[in-house]
Amino acid sequence: MREIVFDTETTGLSPDKGDRLVEIGCVELFNRVETGRHFHAYFNPERPMPAEAQAVHGLSEAFLSDKPRFVERAHEILEFIGDSPLVAHNASFDFGFLNAELGACGHPSVCLTRMIDTVALSRTKHPGAKHSLDALCTRYGVDRSARVKHGALLDAQLLAQVYVELTGGRQIGLMLAAEVPASSVERGAPGADRIVIPIKARPPRPHHASAEELAAHAAFVGTLSDPLWTRLVDPSGPPA
């Protein structure tokens, strides 16, 4: 199953009050294994960057001034995410901004039935514990040493590892990402990407002893002195 783990950075907390999305990072998983494919982009929000928001993600108004607007790359985002489930941490926040930006440029919203919230998963699995991304990285031993500030792609990559642990750990994939060759990814219409895994049938294994093995066994048994089984008596047979 294909899933997309994503994260966003914004100018503030509320798209309803004019805040805009300034960065998105998406990581592709197939059967809970990272495939190596990702999407990452910065956007010019066409509005000032509040100091409070810049302190969180480090993206200044000057840095974003020459970046494309969301509308210019919306089709790339939609093509990458396709119709896959979307995983995010406190997902209603990220969905809110993504759908606000899509709506502003005439695209339909992403259906909320596709939303998987890792905060909700964490609350169910670890009631009473801390549920921040940092806390979950610590709990599951995910290295976050590169996370000096929030960054959409880095946070999505960290969250992908946390999500795998929240949903059962590495063993549930039953295969390594390296086993899915790039040539096996079929391209089609937007959202139709799928990974085809070639399977080579193995001839059935013999589960009976060969004539040589039976002869070797008989020769070995013949070397035994007074084997235990010669003393066994069938209780259903005639009395001694």
Structure confidence by residue, pLDDT tens digits, 113-144: 999 999 999 999 999 999 999 999 999 999 98
Residues annotated within the binding site are: 7, 9, 52, 57, 155
Q: What whole-number distance in Å separates Cα of residue 11 and Cα of residue 54?
A: 8
SS3 content of the chain, % helix, strand, coil (to 5): 40, 15, 45
Given a contact cutoff of 8 angstroms between Cβ atoms, the answer to whether 79 and 190 are in contact is yes
Q: What whole-number distance in Å separates Cα of residue 69 and Cα of residue 76?
A: 12
Given a contact cutoff of 8 angstroms between Cβ atoms, the answer to whether 107 and 113 are in contact is no
Q: What is the pLDDT of residue 199?
A: 60
Q: Residue 16 gets which letter from DSSP? A: G
Q: What is the pLDDT of residue 173?
A: 47
In this predicted structure, the answer to whether residue 79 has a pLDDT above a threshold of 50 is yes
Q: What is the pLDDT of residue 117?
A: 98
State yes or no: is 207 an active-site residue: no
The CATH class for the domain spanning 2-195 reads alpha beta
Q: What is the pLDDT of residue 1?
A: 93
Residues annotated within the binding site for a divalent metal cation are: 7, 9, 155
Out of 107, 126, 150, 217, which one is annotated catalytic? 150
- Among residues of the chain, what percentage have pLDDT more than 70? 80
Structure confidence by residue, pLDDT tens digits, 165-196: 999 886 544 544 444 444 444 444 444 444 55
In this predicted structure, the answer to whether residue 48 has a pLDDT above a threshold of 70 is yes
pTM of the model: 0.70
Model confidence band, residue 200 (pLDDT cutoffs 50, 70, 90): low
What residue ranges do the domains of the chain occupy?
A: 2-195
Residues annotated within the binding site for substrate are: 7, 9, 52, 57, 155
Q: Which among 27, 78, 3, 35 has a CA at the least distance from the CA of 185?
A: 35
Mean pLDDT, the chain, whole residue set: 86
